[in-house]
Amino acid sequence: MAGDRRFEGPSDLHLHSVHSDGTESAAQVMAAAHRRGLRTVALTDHDTTSGWAEAAEAATSMGMTFLPGMELSARNEWRSVHLLAYLFDPDDAGLRAEMERIREDRIGRAERIVRSIGRDYPLTWADVVANTGSGATVGRPHIADALVARGIVKTRAEAFDTILHPRTGYYEGHYAPDVERAVSLVVGAGGVPIVAHPTPSGRARMMPLDLIDRLIGTGLAGFEIDHRENTESGKRILREVVERHDLIVTGSSDYHGLGKPNQPGENTTSDDMVARIISLGTGSRPVYH
């Protein structure tokens, strides 16, 4: 394997652009990663592959290796589960249909949240549209940006702590496939599924261990353990699971431009793990510089 390697670390495989809820263009995200010294990167916008071409071009022109990726919205009962997917076929019909269904439902959901907020605050759907990239996967961060633009809150973080917090009553979920189905769709498209920030604190919490075992049976490849939102206790449990099943472990920033404090390269994935992802993925290829 080692002889086949044409990429170099450090690697950060979880970055967002304006194609979903990051604040920078795909090329700007790649430039930010490059400035931070990264050599291998992936673009993982929520439920879309629309940034791949621009990101691949920018990354390789700066001498970095690019892995096509996505963060697919999924769920386990009431939990929102984010599934990172790498090197899948972007034209796979089953996966595409599901991505489109999620993106479509996210629009109606965001409109309903905004209508409900609009009863108490001067916020309209037009404000959100003005703060969302054309064709982007819409999410609460865009509503947060509209609230900031209207002067109702100061930052995305404040919006999430207040008006967008589930406890305030404006919150609504969106359609997302059950996580077992999400894993099998990614595998079916030749991709490598890895659970993003699998052990957050608070409401989301970690998936039950028996479900994790079933997901591994379905083809789950690993866990993003080094991520600032994971709890220490959850990381310890997952490291044992990973060890027992010889799974992939990743570390990444989840950079969202100015939308979050996370900086490219604040966590990285080892060369060995990147090599395993590359050798497992059959739906698309890395783009080498």
Stretch that binds ligand AMP, among 96-104, 137-145, 198-206, 215-223 (CB under 6 A): 137-145
Integer Cα distance of 179 and 190 in angstroms: 17
Stretch that binds ligand AMP, among 28-36, 127-135, 153-161, 205-213 (CB under 6 A): 153-161
Q: How many residues bind Zn ion (CB under 5 A)?
A: 1
Residue whose C-alpha is closest to residue 106's, from 85, 128, 78: 128
Integer Cα distance of 205 and 150 in angstroms: 33
**Residue 103 CB contacts under 8 Å (≥ 6 apart), including other chains:** 47, 48, 137, 138
Stretch that binds ligand AMP, among 5-13, 24-32, 139-147, 267-275 (CB under 6 A): 139-147
Tell me which of 34, 103, 140, 276 binds ligand AMP, using CB under 6 A: 140
Q: Which of residues 20-59 bind Zn ion (CB under 5 A)?
A: 21
Please report how close the Cβ of residue 172 comes to ligand AMP at its closest, in angstroms.
9
39 touches 274 (CB < 8 A): no
Tell me which of 10, 51, 69, 141 binds ligand AMP, using CB under 6 A: 141
Residue nearest to ligand AMP (CB): 139
Going by the DSSP 8-state scheme, the letter that residue 202 receives in this structure is: T
Residue 72, helix vs strand vs coil: strand
Integer Cα distance of 117 and 68 in angstroms: 36
259 binds ligand AMP (CB under 6 A): yes
Integer Cα distance of 267 and 253 in angstroms: 5
Tell me which of 12, 45, 127, 254 binds Fe ion, using CB under 5 A: 254
Please report how close the Cβ of residue 188 comes to ligand AMP at its closest, in angstroms.
24
Cβ proximity to ligand AMP: between 265 and 286 the closer is 265
> Other CB atoms closer than 10 Å to residue 134's CB: what's the count?
7
- Under the rule (CB under 5 A), what is the footprint of Fe ion? 71, 82, 196, 254
